[in-house]
Amino acid sequence: MTKTLLDISIDKLEMPNEVKRAFIANGINSISHIVTNTVMDLWQVLLKHSIEIMKKDVASIRESAFQIGEDEGFGWDTVQIKVGTFIGYSEANKLIGLRNTTFIKLLHNGTFNEFLLHVGRDVLPSPLRNTPGGSFPKFAFIRSGVEAFMKRYKSLPEIAEEMGYNYTRLAIYSKAGLMDEAKIAKGKWDSIWIKENFKKIKMESVAGRSAKRRNYFGMLSPVQQKIINEFIDYRTDNKVVFSASAQFPKFKQSDAPDDWRAQIARAYYSIICFRSGINNWWELEGRNGYRLLTEDERKKFNPELFDFMDINSNDIQALVRGKGGMTRFSVKKYIRGFFYYLLMQEKEEIRAQERATGLTMQEARARLVAIGEDLDENLEKFMSRENAQPDKESTSLFLTRKQLVQMIHNVFNSTGKNLHTPIKNTAMLALGFFSCIRPIEMSKLEIDKHFELDQTTKLIKLKEFKGSSGETYKFGVMHVTRDISKMRQSPSGKYGILLVPKVVHFLNLYLENLYNKYTLPRGKGYLFRPQDTEEFSDSHYSSSASMVNWMSYHKDMFEGILSEDEISHFSSYDTRHTGNNLIAKRTFFRNLVLEEQKSDVAEYHSRHKGKKSTNKEHYQEKIDLESYVEVINAALNFPFNLDELEIWENKMLGITPPPPVAVVSDEPPKLDVATKKQISKINAELDDLKQRFNALGKLSKLSITERTKLGDALEEKIQKLTTEKDRLILAATEGDTT
């Protein structure tokens, strides 16, 4: 069989020599060129060469070319019998699931060659599509080849699921460049290559992580390393005693020697960087510690510039760079323990000299004590426990439901600032407020791993739950797994985290938008991704700060909703604080059981256990699902229309709105001075009573029964004053103020 239609010369066609010469002069020298040009195109070529020929004769030549192609085995149906059924470009692209630009790129770089045929070169055009003057597809794809390609080349989440391996870990290997050979396009990987090379990938990853670890000890001078090792050896078997107030026991834990060696080496490293004039060495880089030094900085790094016995206050300040308060305090013990070991060694040398000379060296002993005192003063100044705690009062904000609604409304509509991703920002804000999830946890949420989805749409589904009242409510469900929870210690409980319908609505709007941007299968991947491009389809934010920094950049959206002071202090963590506070402090029940349980529900929902008494922790029953449902519905399932919200909150507080006042004109009633004073006094009393009523939830010293009784009394007074106020206004409207 001839290799392609390009290899079949037009010499096989019967035609006048002048026609053949004209075709060849225009590059038409094979059967492929004849069949891939229309009759009109071929005829125009001949007319340019002033060859008089009928159009029907050109059509006859073209038909002969098709027949020769058929005879040579290139017929549409003939080739399908040999290789399998053909499908077109659009169907192949749809099955493989790539963007059109990516599909074209792979088509032209030869990725599809095993199942791609060029029409007119590898196969004759289909008889059904081949009309003398019409066009035809340029490519034919072998269906079986496309299906095999689909089975082999998949997204990372699909490959991870097949292998029963953690998708996040595969994504990390990808970012490290360990699977570049397997990647053929954004979102498409060679599953066979990954499976066959998986052991090698993991080994290279381990080696890479080891290479990236900061070997601070190795950067010190041999003398410094020797001193540290001698200290470690001594503390392993002996107690360090410099004086009655400076004693340090020998190591008790098996990992203590490695821990102390690493911490002391890190301290040496920091001070040497400082004395070498290296700026910002303390900037953190992932989990690996301080950033790596540049080549120029490594040349400047000089261990000989520092002797630990020469440590001063500037060195101590260098040690605390980049460290939070509690970290500073925890480092203090390593510095002090090592330094007093060095002083103890110096003291032993003084004793040896005293024994050898028979003279006492009081000045030398006093110098050691003074050096120790100087160190302690500097450590106390810059690393004390007091410095580990914030001096100012907590600036946590506890927003009202009205403020929450207004903020979400402004973000959704980009009021005050043109956000690039308002739907995404709204989803973040709403999820933070209503689920009380921490920002760091939110940044790691995966769609199908942490949310209960509708299996058809892959959107978050609303499930029916029965509350303790017997009423049925609908909620979405989110699960915060241990691996993404704070310090891996606060996963969600057995009921998951209930999401009210409004939050599910915002999340599903965002998900639909997300699914339309990526070729990743619906329901797969991280919920929030750093950029809306295919390149980041398998990525999550490197830090929670980068995910929520828009809240800081666009605080002007909250003007008129929050006070200036609130705007200056607002942070992403206040969404969590607010949600928890709405449940525990701004929701009230006549049902004494629910009133008692709302604090437990707040702790469960926020996954913040707090400190409980032994009795409450071990001897009292946990909340049941029905009570959880009832409290969350009452606390968080409120209307987003502000007028409806006011009525909703008044109903919860037991405040009945006043009856409508008959209006006899468009003008407000004219009140005399005495009536104005009466109404002003009533308004002041009403404000005071309402504040006292709203503060009932904070009177934790009172029992539930006492609070309920007090609430009833306040409510009765509010009703009486409201009625009196309405009577005065109505009387004034009717012209009677007596």
Residues in the chain: 738
Of 112, 93, 86, whose CA–CA distance to 519 is shortest?
Answer: 93
Of 494, 496, 536, 526, whose CA–CA distance to 427 is shortest?
Answer: 526
Residue 96, burial from CB neighbour count under 10 angstroms (0-12, 13-18, 19+): buried
CB 266 within 8 A of CB 220: no
Segment 628-632 shows an average pLDDT of 96
Pair of tokens at residue 641: 């229309």
Q: Name residues whose C-beta falls within 8 Å of residue 452's C-beta, 6 or more positions apart in sequence.
A: 460, 461, 463, 476, 477, 478, 479, 496
What is the model's pLDDT at position 391? 39
Which strand (E) or helix (H) includes residue 271? helix 256-275
Of 41, 51, 60, whose CA–CA distance to 20 is shortest?
Answer: 51
What is the model's pLDDT at position 390? 44
Most confidently predicted of 55-64, 151-160, 632-641, 711-720: 632-641
Q: Band the pLDDT of 464: cuts 50, 70, 90.
A: very high
What is the model's pLDDT at position 324? 59
Q: Strands 463-466 and 472-478: what pairing?
A: antiparallel
Dihedral sign of CA atoms 711, 713, 714, 720 in order? positive
Pair of tokens at residue 389: 């705690």
Of 177, 355, 213, 368, whose CA–CA distance to 292 is shortest?
Answer: 213
Q: Band the pLDDT of 415: cuts 50, 70, 90.
A: low
Per-residue pLDDT at 619 exceeds 70 = no
What is the model's pLDDT at position 147? 93
Dihedral sign of CA atoms 176, 182, 185, 189 in order? negative
Helix (H, G, I), strand (E, B) or coil at 9: strand
Angstrom distance (rounded) from CA 598 to CA 483: 27
Q: pLDDT by residue (tens digit) across 11-50?
A: 999 999 999 999 999 999 999 999 888 889 899 989 888 8
What is the model's pLDDT at position 704? 56
Segment 57-70 shows an average pLDDT of 91
Average pLDDT across the chain, whole number: 82
Angstrom distance (rounded) from CA 665 to CA 364: 99
Residue 366, burial from CB neighbour count under 10 angstroms (0-12, 13-18, 19+): exposed
Pair of tokens at residue 392: 């100012």
What is the model's pLDDT at position 483? 85
Angstrom distance (rounded) from CA 132 to CA 56: 10
Cα distances (Å, whole numbers) of residue 35 to 43, 128, 234 = 13, 14, 91
Q: How many CA atoms lie within 13 A of 590 on its CB side?
A: 7
CB 144 within 8 A of CB 116: no
Q: pLDDT by residue (tens digit) across 285-316?
A: 544 467 778 788 889 999 999 988 888 889 88
Angstrom distance (rounded) from CA 434 to CA 498: 9
Per-residue pLDDT at 242 exceeds 80 = no
What is the model's pLDDT at position 657? 56
Cα distances (Å, whole numbers) of residue 82 to 74, 89, 672 = 10, 20, 103
What is the model's pLDDT at position 738? 41
Ramachandran quadrant class, 158 (left: phi over 0; alpha: psi -120 to 50; beta: rest):
alpha
Q: Which amino acid is at 328?
A: R
Angstrom distance (rounded) from CA 605 to CA 583: 9
Q: Give phi and psi for 141, each to the nearest 5.
A: -110, 135
Angstrom distance (rounded) from CA 348 to CA 49: 111
Angstrom distance (rounded) from CA 507 to CA 427: 5
What is the model's pLDDT at position 666? 47
What is the model's pLDDT at position 456? 94
Per-residue pLDDT at 336 exceeds 50 = yes
Per-residue pLDDT at 402 exceeds 90 = yes
Cα distances (Å, whole numbers) of residue 168 to 275, 445, 484 = 41, 11, 11
Per-residue pLDDT at 624 exceeds 80 = yes
What is the model's pLDDT at position 326? 55
Q: Strands 472-478 and 497-499: what pairing?
A: antiparallel
Q: How many CB atoms lie within 10 A of CB 667?
A: 8
Q: How many CB atoms lie within 10 A of CB 686?
A: 15
Angstrom distance (rounded) from CA 537 to CA 455: 21
- For residue 214, list its beta bridge partners: none
Q: pLDDT by residue (tens digit) across 348-398?
A: 888 888 888 887 788 888 888 888 888 888 887 777 655 544 434 446 788
Q: Band the pLDDT of 665: cuts 50, 70, 90.
A: very low
Angstrom distance (rounded) from CA 216 to CA 225: 10
Per-residue pLDDT at 486 exceeds 60 = yes
Angstrom distance (rounded) from CA 577 to CA 397: 7
Q: Band the pLDDT of 737: cuts 50, 70, 90.
A: very low
> Which contacts (CB < 8 Å, 24+ apart) does range 364-367 have?
none
Which stretch of 15-29, 175-189, 557-571, 605-619 has the lowest confidence by average pLDDT? 605-619
Between these two residues, 185 and 71, which has the higher pLDDT value? 71
Per-residue pLDDT at 439 exceeds 70 = yes
The reply to whether the predicted model has a pTM over 0.75 is no
What is the model's pLDDT at position 505? 96
Dihedral sign of CA atoms 668, 672, 677, 678 in order? negative
> Which contacts (CB < 8 Å, 24+ apart) does range 309-317 have?
309/342, 309/346, 309/371, 311/271, 311/339, 311/375, 312/378, 313/378, 313/381, 313/382, 314/274, 315/271, 315/274, 315/275, 316/378, 316/379, 316/381, 316/382, 316/383, 317/382
CA torsion angle for 576, 577, 579, 585 (degrees, to 10)? Answer: 160
Q: Band the pLDDT of 736: cuts 50, 70, 90.
A: very low
Pair of tokens at residue 339: 């330094």
Q: Percentage of residues in the chain with pLDDT exceeding 70?
A: 84
CB 468 within 8 A of CB 533: no
What is the model's pLDDT at position 711? 72
CB 157 within 8 A of CB 524: yes
CA angle 721, 726, 728 (to 5 degrees): 95
Segment 235-258 shows an average pLDDT of 81
